Amino acid sequence: MASVFDQIAACVEQGKTDAATNIPAGSRGQPGVVELVATALGAGESPEAVLKHGLLAGMQVVGRKFAANEVFIPEVLISARAMRAGLGALRPAFTGRPMPQRGVFVIGTVRGDMHDIGKNLVGMILEGAGWQVVDLGIDCAADAFTAAVQQRPGCVVGLSALLTTTMLHMRDTIAAIRASSPDTVILVGGAPVSAAFAEEIGASGYAADPVAAIELLDRLVPAGGHA
Ligand code: B12
């Protein structure tokens, strides 16, 4: 019998959201991502382990197959929907922990980019770490970020990009934010982004994942010292 993590990963890959979903055909009534996440948490697994070994492991397989032309956009969207449902099921386990309030974190995916799974994950985990998260969504032009920062003086900004083309918009977005709010702490992230690129475009820092983002923010914005 496959471990609950392997089952979650397989369900993400197949797009099996929950027991009511009939994807793949004939699977209605069998547990999907939502039920399996609850099973794993109920068995005492940590939300971090469920995320890493279940949900993200499944999405990694999808990413590899997409890159190898073994699956195409419709399948990836179905997997993304299952992943999103799994994150929803996991959310209370992350955000239910008592944490001191750390400040406001405005996050969005930059202009032209529709990828939101990583952004949502970063937002959810930072919320669990005590940040009040304002999610601007996907395909956000620079002025959406500048307006959000002006409304929330002292907030931290997170920019997400998953495409080598859209990550280039991070530079203009950072310049626009700094033109009106020069001291804003701005983190960048997303698969094609690197620490060197972050430095080149004037970001305050780069984090590869939400845990690294929390550690970086603890250094850049000491508790009680911002927002
Ligand atoms: C799912 C997916 C899609 C879905 C998105 C659904 C959704 N709601 O998000 C759909 C089908 C819409 C899609 C479309 C496209 N996609 Co796509 N997609 C993917 C895929 C398979 C997974 C991405 C994902 O969700 N990963 C899981 C999350 C959890 O990881 P993550 O996003 O990297 O986020 C983590 C970190 O990067 C970081 N992070 C992310 N953001 C931020 C922000 C901050 C502030 C911080 C600190 C950290 C951080 O933390 C996250 C958690 O650890 C990737 C392949 C891959 N392996 O990445 C391709 C991929 C990103 N897509 C790709 C491409 C080419 C496209 C399309 C252009 C395809 C096409 N021909 O139309 C379109 C572009 C649409 C657009 N304009 O945006 C390429 C990009 C190539 C490149 N280097 O530019 C990839 C790499 C696939 C490939 N190998 O070819 N895609």
CB contact set of 54 (below 8 Å; sequence gap of 6+) = 4, 5, 7, 8, 9, 12, 36, 37, 40, 86
pLDDT of 51 higher than 80: yes
Separation CA 165–CA 143 (nearest Å) = 19
Looking at residue 227, its pLDDT comes to: 43
* DSSP label at residue 112: T
pLDDT of 180 higher than 90: yes
Q: pLDDT tens across 203-215, in order?
A: 999 999 887 898 8
- Ligand 1 within 6 A of CB of 61: no
> Residue 107, SS3?
strand
pLDDT of 225 higher than 70: no
Report field, pTM of the whole predicted structure over 0.85: yes
- Ligand 1 within 6 A of CB of 118: yes
Percent of the chain with pLDDT over 90: 73
Instruction: Pinpoint the alpha helices (H) of the chain.
Output: 4-14, 33-42, 47-49, 57-67, 73-95, 117-128, 142-151, 169-180, 195-200, 210-220
Structure tokens at 110: 């930059």
Separation CA 27–CA 178 (nearest Å) = 51
Where do we find the tokens 């820092």?
205
Q: Which residue has the higher pLDDT, 6 or 87?
A: 6
Q: pLDDT tens across 110-160, in order?
A: 999 999 999 998 988 888 778 999 999 999 999 999 999 999 999 999 999
Q: Which residue among 107, 162, 201 is best mutated to probe the pocket of ligand 1, counting the most ligand atoms within 8 A of its Cβ? A: 162
Average pLDDT (172-194) is 97
Looking at residue 98, its pLDDT comes to: 64
Closest CA to 212 of 111, 125, 92: 125
**Cβ atoms < 10 Å from Cβ of 133:** 19
Separation CA 83–CA 98 (nearest Å) = 25
Do the Cβ atoms of 32 and 18 come closer than 8 Å?
yes
- CA 163 to ligand 1 centroid distance, Å: 7
The interaxial angle of helices 4-14 and 73-95, nearest 10 deg, is 140
pLDDT of 226 higher than 90: no
Average pLDDT (158-180) is 98
**Cβ atoms < 10 Å from Cβ of 6:** 15
Q: Atom 80, ligand 1: which residue's CA is nearest? A: 163
- Ligand 1 within 6 A of CB of 58: no
Chain centroid, CA 127 distance in Å: 11
Query: Which amino acid is located at 93 in the chain?
Result: A
Mean pLDDT for the chain?
A: 92
Separation CA 116–CA 59 (nearest Å) = 13
- CA 20 to ligand 1 centroid distance, Å: 27
Largest CA distance in the chain: 57
Where do we find the tokens 């069998």?
30
